[in-house]
Amino acid sequence: MAVANPLPNFAARGAVDLSVLNRPVAPPPGEPGGAPLAGGYVVDVTTENFPQVVQDSARYPVLVLLWLPTDQANAELGILLGRLAAEAGGKFLLARVDVGTQPEIAAAFQVEGVPTVAAILAGQPIPLFAGAAAEDQVRAVLGQILAAAAQNGIKGRAPFDGVPAEPTPEELEPDEPPLPPLHEEAFTAIEEGDYEAAANAYRKAIKQDPHDAMAVAGLAQVQLMARTAEVDPAPLRAAAEADPRDLTAALAVADVDVMQGQVDDAFARLLGLLPNADADTKEAIRLRLLEYFEVLGAADPRVTKARQKLALYLY
């Protein structure tokens, strides 16, 4: 994919909010207490190398950190993302953009405040989040981006210190056949954040073929995404801790746990409510767990164990 000038692909509007300059400062990258220097799976982006970074996003995912490296909150997020990039071992490249020295790139991403995190997949920008975020939240977002990359055939490894990685076995595999039309419609709707449209597309696919396992799993996943799209986990967890028998709170926290990869916690929370529960509560928990089983897949050993416990409590 040739990208001569990627900036037009991004709407170049919005101003960079530099009010964070009034906040606590951090040492420059490479100095004690500051974020590390670029290296490994981390690069600093300028207008000179940005076109290549965008072009290479066709081979591997690019996570973009738009930051002010000498701001403490920015530096802390930069340290976290750098650690996750090293841990991922090339599953993505972390591209850092200093908005103070690269305002053109910052404007291209419509940055209104820093830190801001986005992704680039196959040359297309995907806004992720702005401001500080807890590690579990960052990991959840990163997991979604890597999954989206895999679904779009972006299977390569990022270079280490600029040295290109050898093609992965996944890259050498032939491309998968195109998605059925309704699946493609659902995936497009998910990319646009229209979860209801995605769910309707999957429902149509299931109506056409009740044995379409991909559509059943897709519907369960998009319903989970819709329920967790705008929730604040903290008050949900507080409500669940205040009243462990509160079914609504338990279901909401379980949704968040599954999205954040804490599957065992979600299963334990809901299964723990089943003893002595009334029929309506048992049915609500059963249906929610069956959704999780579809999202995770029957081969997941956690699903096997939870399914056995569910049957024991119900029958």
pLDDT digits (tens, 9 = 90+) for 23-56: 778 889 999 988 999 999 999 999 999 999 999 9
- For residues 44 and 161, is the Cβ–Cβ distance under 8 A? no
pLDDT at position 5 is 36
**pLDDT value at 1 more than 80:** no
Q: CA-CA distance, 139 to 75, in Å (whole number)?
A: 18
Residue 79 in contact with residue 35, Cβ under 8 Å?
yes
Give 147-203 pLDDT, tens digit per residue: 999 988 898 999 999 888 777 666 566 666 788 999 999 999 999 999 999 999 999
Parallel, antiparallel or unpaired: strands 124-130 and 116-121: antiparallel
pLDDT digits (tens, 9 = 90+) for 4-14: 333 334 333 33
Question: pLDDT tens-digit profile of 280-309?
Answer: 999 999 999 999 999 998 888 999 999 999
Radius of gyration (C-alpha) of the chain in whole angstroms: 22
Edge to edge, the sheet with strand 42-44 lists: 42-44, 93-98, 62-67, 116-121, 124-130
pLDDT of residue 171: 58
Q: Which secondary structure element, helix H or strand E, spans residue 146, and what is its range?
A: helix 135-151
Between CA 250 and CA 293 the distance in angstroms is 17
- Portion of the chain with pLDDT greater than 90, in percent: 69
On whether the CB atoms of residues 236 and 256 are closer than 8 A, the answer is yes
- The overall average pLDDT reported for the chain is 88
pLDDT at residue number 49? 95
Report DSSP state, residue 91. Answer: S
**Which structure tokens are listed for 144?**
């979604």
